[in-house]
Amino acid sequence: MNYDVKYYKYNTKQFSFEKIVAELFKVNKLSNVHKLVSNVSEELFSNSNDDSTKLHSIFYNKLNNNWPEFIEMYREFIKDIVMDIYDVDTIVYQSKPTFRVQLPNNIAVGGNQNDLVGKYGWHKDSDSEYNHPLTEKNFIVPLTNSRDTASVYIETYPRSNKFKPAKMNVGEFFNFCGAECIHGNKPNQTGKSRVSFDFRVILKKDYDELLVKQSKLTNKKFIIGEYYSLLER
């Protein structure tokens, strides 16, 4: 199996994710979005509070209530871009994407603060803490440029213990085997925020409800109608 991280480009005018998210937060640059957040703990986020900032609340409140502009664009992105990558007409995809913010001096995905090894949140999605199926494929779409410590570090292949940062600009995205390769952040020393969203897909031929698991974070089953939706064209 090929575990290489694969990079792609997309048309930011057709898929203006950065623009509509910046409008949501009422900022000119998403890399400055941390200026909207006050009273943030100086401690690194843990897995219990890494999605509890004001920014996460604003994003998910909009996403879960009435944001057809983003949801329709997200679906079109999967249909026009992701399905073309795999040359398929049907795909199982994460119904609602996951929003990430890596504030200055912090990480985007927290770990167990009682575990010195895990405090940076480095993990595989198939770890018992997350419980994702091995057949998933991860996609990350940056809404700010991703550089140095404001990036995601990904294991080059399973159990290699060798990592490379994903360096990208807005208008690029990448996919990788997040269920099998360890990935995570280092504390962000760039002075700017890193903003992105990510999602997971499963090829229809690899989807099997008989092997279903349940997300330990959302309590949703990894099945169509809960964590996933089915998209056809």
Q: Which of 104, 128, 98 is nearest to 186 (CA)?
A: 104
Residue-wise pLDDT for 166-204, tens only, equals 999 999 999 999 999 999 999 999 999 999 999 999 999
pLDDT of 114 strictly over 80: no
Averaged pLDDT, 69-96: 97
Residue-wise pLDDT for 70-82, tens only, equals 999 999 999 999 9
Half-sphere exposure (Cβ direction) of 147: Cα atoms closer than 13 Å: 10
Task: For domain 6-89+101-197, give the fold.
Answer: Jelly Rolls (2.60.120)
Label residue 217 by pLDDT band (50, 70, 90).
Answer: confident
Label residue 219 by pLDDT band (50, 70, 90).
Answer: confident
Q: Which two tokens stand for residue 110?
A: 């927290």
- Residues 130 and 215 sit within 8 Å (Cβ to Cβ): yes
- Residues 77 and 139 sit within 8 Å (Cβ to Cβ): no
pLDDT of 39 strictly over 80: no
Return the domain boundaries, the chain: 6-89+101-197
pLDDT of 98 strictly over 90: yes
Averaged pLDDT, 222-230: 95
